[in-house]
Amino acid sequence: SAAEKDGHDWFMRKEIFEQPRAVADSLLGRHTRGGQLQLDEMRLSDQELRDIDKIIIIAAGTSFYAGMVAKYAIEHWCRVPVEVELSSEFRYRDPILDYSTLVVAISQSGETADTLQAIRHARLQRSKVLAICNTNGSTIPRESDAVIYTHAGPEIGVASTKGFLTQLVACYLLALYLAQVKGTRYGDEIALVMEQLEAMPAHISSVLDAAPEIYDLAREHVGTRSVLYLGRHAGYPVALEGALKLKELAYLHAEGFAAGELKHGPIALVEEGLPVLCVVPPRGRDQLHDKMISGIQEVRARGAYTICLAEEGDEAITPYADHVIRLPRVPVLLQPLVAVVPLQLFACELATAMGHDVDQPRNLAKSVTVE
Ligand code: G6P
């Protein structure tokens, strides 16, 4: 009923709008005490965590993209090498695992068969398994050595939204916690990053305030047959997730690319009028932002209709953007928390305008309990 959906037409739309709260709830109780981050559910000892010299993240679907963001955060803050692998592939390639490998399984439902089989395999090889999960008492956390629960609340829409944002939060918390335990030089920045994380719910709300503008844009694109998504760094998994949302909901051909790879193939796909959604990194000391702009320039010169997600005040993109969606100014590693939101809104509205059932897309299930 409409009441259950809080007046929204879809559970998914309701869940998109619950994201500020879901992110805030997932940060609750993880405050720094005397400058120290506390993760009360972390059942691995500091010594066990210090012994870890490699992390393998396994997940499926949207959760896999959260894992890709986690790699950027963990490697940057903790200096521990991280691999990210689809759980359906992991077990079958004879991965190198031992007691000093931490396997992180990300699963909103905690029941995905591919991920469950993967953690069973990892534990047989004596690796420690940490689950990031939204469902209390589900199978994956029960079979893991440790767990970080996300607090998104129940997610009904088949396509994950608030589940994804809260997984990102859990990944950041894990990265910061490891940095603290391992005593890397970023250990000193934990309190600062926690403050930045605590500001995110308000930033996400400000992105949601622009929903009507994104809905107009989405409706203008009814009839398009294909959409490309470009990103770099932590914006690359965001591009992949944006494309997945459009496939899941609108049944359109959508692909995400790392912007730097354009010239190695994907640019051949660009033709007159093709919508290209570009996740522009924040301006910083590195060249990420400028390199992204040259990618946008390249696709636009070939006729693409460029929709740029760029931070407030970034005017360098203006000459190359057919449409700009503004994002709040946040650090590059945290940008996925705001950048993915317009992509969720875009896919939800485009699918709605096409007459599709957004909550129950064809051929998909909320949790896939067969391999
Ligand atoms: C299914 C759902 C996706 C989800 C994926 C992984 O395919 O339709 O939305 O991302 O499973 O689910 P999990 O519960 O393991 O995160």
Residue by residue, DSSP assigns 274-318 as -EEEEEPPPP-SSSHHHHHHHHHHHHHHTT-EEEEEEETT--TTG
Find how far residue 22's CA is from the centre of its chain: 14
Q: What spacing in Å lies between the alpha carbon of 110 and ligand 1's midpoint?
A: 9
For residue 163, the ligand 1 atom closest to its alpha carbon is: 16
For the full predicted model, state whether its pTM sits above 0.95.
yes
Q: Which of 88, 109, 359 to mutate to test the pocket of ligand 1 (most atoms within 8 A of CB)?
A: 109
Residue of 126, 121, 155 lying closest to 26 (CA atoms):
155
Using the Cα atoms of residue 210, residue 213, residue 217 and residue 219 in order, give the sign of their dihedral: positive
pLDDT of residue 189: 83
Say which residue the tokens 């010594």 belong to. Answer: 47
φ, ψ dihedrals at 26, nearest 5°: -75, -15
| Interior angle at CA 176, CA 309 and CA 75, nearest 5 | 70
pLDDT of residue 93: 87
Residue of 223, 242, 229, 234 lying closest to 308 (CA atoms):
229
HSE, side-chain direction, 13 A CA sphere, residue 157: 28
Q: Check if the interface score ipTM surpasses 0.90.
A: yes
Q: Which of 63, 161, 162, 364 to mutate to test the pocket of ligand 1 (most atoms within 8 A of CB)?
A: 63
Q: What spacing in Å lies between the alpha carbon of 308 and ligand 1's midpoint?
A: 28
Residue by residue, DSSP assigns 4-36 as TTTT-SSHHHHHHHTHHHHHHHHHTT--EETTE
- Cβ–Cβ < 8 Å for 305, 275: yes
- Cβ–Cβ < 8 Å for 256, 240: yes
Q: What spacing in Å lies between the alpha carbon of 111 and ligand 1's midpoint?
A: 9
pLDDT in tens, the chain (371 residues): 677 898 999 999 999 999 999 999 999 877 666 768 888 778 899 999 999 999 999 999 999 999 999 999 999 999 999 999 999 999 888 899 999 999 999 999 999 999 999 999 999 999 999 999 999 999 999 999 999 999 999 999 999 999 999 999 999 999 999 999 998 777 678 889 999 999 999 999 999 999 999 999 999 999 999 999 999 999 999 999 999 999 999 999 999 999 999 999 999 999 999 999 999 999 987 899 999 999 999 999 999 999 999 999 999 999 999 999 999 999 999 999 999 999 999 999 999 999 999 999 999 999 898 88
Extract the tokens encoding 225: 């047959």
Among protein residues, the one with the nearest Cα to ligand 1's atom 11 is 367
**Average of per-residue pLDDT values in the chain:** 94
As for ligand 1, residues whose beta carbon falls within 6 Å of it are 60-63, 107-109, 112, 115, 158-160, 364, 366-368
Active site residues: 366
pLDDT of residue 33: 67
Among protein residues, the one with the nearest Cα to ligand 1's atom 15 is 107
The length of the chain, given as a count of residues: 371
pLDDT of residue 306: 98
Residue of 324, 115, 117, 316 lying closest to 217 (CA atoms):
324
Return the percent helix, strand and coil in the chain, to nearest 5. Answer: 50, 15, 35
- Cβ–Cβ < 8 Å for 99, 128: yes
Find how far residue 230's CA is from the centre of its chain: 14
Sheet with strand 226-231: strands edge to edge: 253-258, 226-231, 275-279, 305-311, 323-327
Say which residue the tokens 């930045």 belong to. Answer: 196
Q: What is the dihedral of CA 172, 176, 182, 186, to 10 degrees?
A: 120
- Cβ–Cβ < 8 Å for 111, 86: no
Extract the tokens encoding 142: 């029960």
**Spatial distance between the Cα atoms of 228 and 249, rounded to a whole number of angstroms:** 15
Q: What spacing in Å lies between the alpha carbon of 71 and ligand 1's midpoint?
A: 19
φ, ψ dihedrals at 58, nearest 5°: -125, 140
353 burial (CB, 10 Å; 0-12 / 13-18 / 19+) is middle
Question: What is residue 230's DSSP assignment?
Answer: E
Q: What spacing in Å lies between the alpha carbon of 367 and ligand 1's midpoint?
A: 6
**Spatial distance between the Cα atoms of 294 and 259, rounded to a whole number of angstroms:** 9
